[in-house]
A and B are shown apart, each in its own frame.
Chain A
Amino acid sequence: MTRKRFPTHIIVFLAPAVIIYTVFMIYPLIDSLRLSLYAPSAENPQVEEFVGFKNYETLFTDPNYAPRLQGAVKNNFIFFAVHMLVQNPVGLLLATLLTSQLTRWRGVFRTALFLPTMLSFVLVGFIWGNIILSPLWGIADDFFRTIGLGDLIQPWLGKPETALITLSLVSVWQFIGIPMMLFSAALIGISDELIEAARVDGATAWGVFWYIKFPLILPTVGIVTILTFVGNFNAFDLIYTVQGGLAGPNFATDILGTFFYRTFFGFQLQAGNPTMGATIAGVMFLIILTGVLVYLVGFQRRLTRVEY
């Protein structure tokens, strides 16, 4: 019995992807988790020594880290909640309208709605932070005054109570194109006969949506939810461009990504701390992993069962 040699062409096809992916993605992820168990030695800061879970203990209990971690996690959940409550429902609404049989100029509308998603954070941050919401330009102020809500005008980005929600909504503006696209694709996939049949039976537009379309796009709801979760708990760029590395005012817009960056890389005169940075990345890893597992085990499995 001779074992068959593994075919060369399979190796040729797979090797480049496996090597690049392993070296530049999997290895850094694992090594970063390892680094979170190390700290610069007291005698010689050039040398890192194994400290077990001490960094995590510092992160969770030290007065310089614990409040920041708590704040960042809390803010991150608020950030996520705004996306779930605004971005995804509005994205679904737009997708439903876009795929309705009545709709004309679909391509034009689709491009218009997807436009912000293609823009860089720098541009989005500048448009909203430095132009529209800037008290100096006064564009948001003019708008609210025009629709008779002048009393509501506030320096939203400058106040701790409003800054985070404001930035979350800016992020929603930017990324609504993604749920819109995914929901559109799912809705287009629903057969017209099914909907016609329901209409003939006297179903209202709402009834058709709620009892026929929505259950059929439930898997997409799951995908959109988990993509939003992963994206939000990994977010950094928008807050950094608008509020800087200190995520002001008074850390009101600090999320895990900005906390990670500031700790790892430093900001202004604050020196970076790579091992504590790796520790924060470790916490982010755990949060994201938990979310993904909940999705895979809870949501996706139940759906498969329903389908059978």
Chain B
Amino acid sequence: MIAGTEKLNEGGSLAALEALARWQPYLIDGYQALSYPDAQSAFTLGLGAIYPTGSWEISGFEANSDFELGIFPPPVPEGADTCYISDHTDIAIGMNAALEGDRRAAAETFLSWVASAEFAGLYANALPGFFPLSDAEVTLDDPLANEFLSWRGECESTIRNSYQILSRGTPNLENELWRVSAQILNGELTPQAGADELQAGLDSWYTPAGM
């Protein structure tokens, strides 16, 4: 998509919105007015059977639900056998390159520790569902987090389309995805019409690399 060879209104991107539209009959009553925390509560109170989300929800759900949780990866379309998951690189810590002297040394000490196996283990177990981007071998205590992690071996990696480059203009793709997805779930837009709006918005400011 960044290179301009894929479009939001065809192929896999369109299929994703079509799949989203098919969820509508399975959403709980009044879903249109449900806030994010409402939805989390609804699930942990047992009002829903399936909650499509990511590993970041593990600790909240484990703390608040009184039933046993299980997880499964995004199902694959009929006839396909490769599953896809996406790793979100959410947090980065860096150092100002202009730092000098003691402060530079202190910053480097801290960053080396953040990059160490010790930190990776502490981090991954303190926040189950958030995984360190480290080469170190880490043992996770949380079974759900382990299961999520195991999918890295079974599934291919896919993208988070709206982040970074494709959201650097107006209209902003991330905000547009929120808006259009809600419209599709509300039945106000067909997946195709929604996808066309998204692509038109992107076309209005983004010139694919190499074109």
Q: Is the CB of B179 within 8 A of A158?
A: no
**Residue in B30, B41, B182 whose beta carbon sits within 8 Å of that of A249 in the complex:** B182
Q: Which of B1-52 contact A (CB under 8 A)?
A: 28-35, 37-38, 41-42, 47
Query: Is A134 engaged at the interface, CB distance under 8 Å to the other chain?
Result: yes
B183 CB–A CB distance under 8 Å: yes
Residue A16 at the B interface, CB < 8 A? no
B204 near A159 with CB under 8 A, answer no
Cα of A79 to Cα of B31 in the assembled complex, Å: 25
Collect the chain B residues with CB atoms within 8 Å of residue A130's CB.
35, 37-38
A269 contact from B37, B175, B188, Cβ within 8 A:
B175
Chain A residues positioned under 8 Å from B167 (CB to CB): 269-270
Residues on A with C-beta less than 8 A from B162 are: 269
Size bin of chain A's contact surface: 20 to 34
Q: Using Cβ atoms and an 8 Å threshold, which residues of chain B touch A141?
A: 30
A70 to chain B, nearest CB (A): 16
CB distance from B143 to the nearest CB of A (A): 29
Number of B residues whose C-beta is below 8 Å from A? 30
The verdict on A63 contacting B188 (CB below 8 Å), with A133-B33, A135-B31 known, is: no
* Bound Cα distance A271, B34 (Å): 27
Q: Which residue of A lies closest to B47 (CB)?
A: A136
B171 partner residues in chain A, CB cutoff 8 A = 64
B-side contacts of A64, CB under 8 Å: 170-171, 204
CA separation between A49 and B28, bound complex, in Å?
52
Q: How far is the CA of A67 from the CA of B173 in the complex (A)?
A: 17
Taken together as a complex, chains A and B put the C-alpha atoms of A270 and B171 apart, in Å, by 8
Min CB gap A127→B, angstroms? 14
Residues of A contacting B163 in the complex (Cβ-Cβ under 8 angstroms): 269
Is A223's beta carbon under 8 Å from chain B? no
Q: Is A209 an interface residue (CB 8 A)?
A: no
The answer to whether residues A249 and B31 also contact, given A64-B170, A269-B172, A269-B174 and a CB cut-off of 8 A, is: no
**Cα distance A225–B32 when bound, in Å?**
34
Q: Is the CB of B42 within 8 A of A136?
A: yes
Chain B residues with Cβ under 8 A from A268's Cβ? 172, 174-175, 178
- In the complex, chain B residues whose CB is within 8 Å of the CB of A155: 30-34
Determine whether A21 belongs to the interface, using a CB cutoff of 8 Å to chain B.
Answer: no
Instruction: Using A249-B179, A250-B182 as known contacts, list a sample of 11 further A-B pairs with CB atoms less than 8 Å apart, ordered by residue number in A.
Output: A130-B35, A135-B28, A135-B38, A136-B30, A136-B34, A155-B30, A155-B31, A159-B33, A248-B179, A248-B182, A269-B163
> Which residues on A are within 8 Å of B, measured CB to CB?
63-64, 129-130, 133-136, 141, 154-160, 246, 248-251, 267-271, 273
Q: Which B residues form the contact surface with A (CB < 8 A)?
A: 28-35, 37-38, 41-42, 47, 162-163, 167-168, 170-175, 178-179, 182-183, 186, 188, 204
